[in-house]
Amino acid sequence: MKKIGLISDVHGNLHALLAVLAYLEKEQVDEIWCLGDIVGYGAFPSECIEKVRENCSIILGGNHDLAVAGKISFREFSFDAAVAGEWTVKRLNDSEKEFLASLEPELLVKLDGRSVLLTHGNPANPIWDYVFGRFDVQRAAYAMEEKGVKVNFLGHSHVPSIGYVRNSEVELEVCRPGETLTIFSQEYDAVLFNPGSVGQPRDFDWRASGAVIDEDGLVKLFRVEYDVNAAAEAIIEADLPVFLAQRLKSGS
Ligand code: ZN
């Protein structure tokens, strides 16, 4: 089985992305899959698009990518997210926007003969909906059953987590770095894994988050330190909302 690096929600944070790519290079992964939201919030959207395209073999589109590309509206975004989105629209050239417009929020792939559903958000509504609690896991599991898959990798919530349905028990647990998860196990009826966010973690840990799926199908979550002060200063210098700089440092 191939060794896969799994990343999501880069959000224009080049400092965090470079630290994660360096970590994955050391881990000698065969491929990197990106679950969406390359842009939005951070000060380096073009640079992040370029690095993700260079390094990732699979790239999904998140709500921020698709809104910046003009495919969906900013109307449902929070105020700061919409301001950062409009800022990003002005920064990107046409070919970068065309690239974002070409991304899908959902893709069914094979990993070692197993079907894996990749989505940005909840498989029940992969552009917009989150998996934050057990009811979201149940809803996702229904959508996965319809599509005939038991394993889902997703992003969007910016919280590294594993959700599962097992003998009618439904759980959602936050994952900690170094934890090894056996998600390709027969005991699950449905299992959802979120590698957390590269560029804007929201689990009160400021370090960039990601995961590696190794040759045995074990999933390991990792966190890497990066120059968070430089990323935050760049947000302020770019005249983006100050809150977006502050939340990077608190991981919230
Ligand atoms: Zn996001």
Q: Using the mean position of ligand 1's atoms as its centre, give its distance from the Cα of residue 120 in Å.
A: 8
To which H or E segment does residue 230 belong? helix 228-237
Q: Using the mean position of ligand 1's atoms as its centre, give its distance from the Cα of residue 36 in Å.
A: 7
Q: Using the mean position of ligand 1's atoms as its centre, give its distance from the Cα of residue 8 in Å.
A: 8
Which pLDDT value is given to residue 241? Answer: 96
Among candidate residues 136, 120, 160, 158, the one with its CA nearest the CA of residue 247: 158
Q: Using the mean position of ligand 1's atoms as its centre, give its distance from the Cα of residue 158 in Å.
A: 6
Q: Using the mean position of ligand 1's atoms as its centre, give its distance from the Cα of residue 198 in Å.
A: 10
Which pLDDT value is given to residue 111? Answer: 92
Residues 6+ apart with CB under 8 A from 21: 32, 51, 55
Residues 6+ apart with CB under 8 A from 6: 32, 33, 35, 153, 193, 195, 210, 211, 212, 213, 219
pLDDT single digits (tens) 149-204: 999 999 999 999 999 999 989 999 999 999 999 999 889 999 999 999 999 999 99
Q: Using the mean position of ligand 1's atoms as its centre, give its distance from the Cα of residue 218 in Å.
A: 25
**Euclidean distance between CA atoms 8 and 64, whole angstroms:** 12
To which H or E segment does residue 91 belong? helix 79-91
pLDDT single digits (tens) 78-98: 999 999 999 999 999 999 999
Share of the chain above pLDDT 70, in %: 100
**Euclidean distance between CA atoms 112 and 134, whole angstroms:** 29
Q: Check: pTM over 0.75? Answer yes or no.
A: yes
* 212 exposure class (CB count in 10 Å sphere: 0-12, 13-18, 19+): buried
Two structure tokens written together for 148: 């005939």
Q: Using the mean position of ligand 1's atoms as its centre, give its distance from the Cα of residue 113 in Å.
A: 29
Q: Which letter does DSSP use for residue 75 in this model?
A: T
Q: Using the mean position of ligand 1's atoms as its centre, give its distance from the Cα of residue 27 in Å.
A: 25
Which pLDDT value is given to residue 215? Answer: 84
Which pLDDT value is given to residue 227? Answer: 98
Mean pLDDT of the chain, nearest integer: 97
Q: Using the mean position of ligand 1's atoms as its centre, give its distance from the Cα of residue 62 in Å.
A: 7
Which pLDDT value is given to residue 1? Answer: 85
For residue 116, which phi and psi values (nearest 5 degrees)? -130, 130
**pLDDT reading at 216 higher than 90:** no
Q: Using the mean position of ligand 1's atoms as its centre, give its distance from the Cα of residue 186 in Å.
A: 30
Which pLDDT value is given to residue 217? Answer: 86
**Euclidean distance between CA atoms 220 and 211, whole angstroms:** 5
Q: Using the mean position of ligand 1's atoms as its centre, give its distance from the Cα of residue 127 in Å.
A: 10
Among candidate residues 59, 166, 42, 150, the one with its CA nearest the CA of residue 104: 59
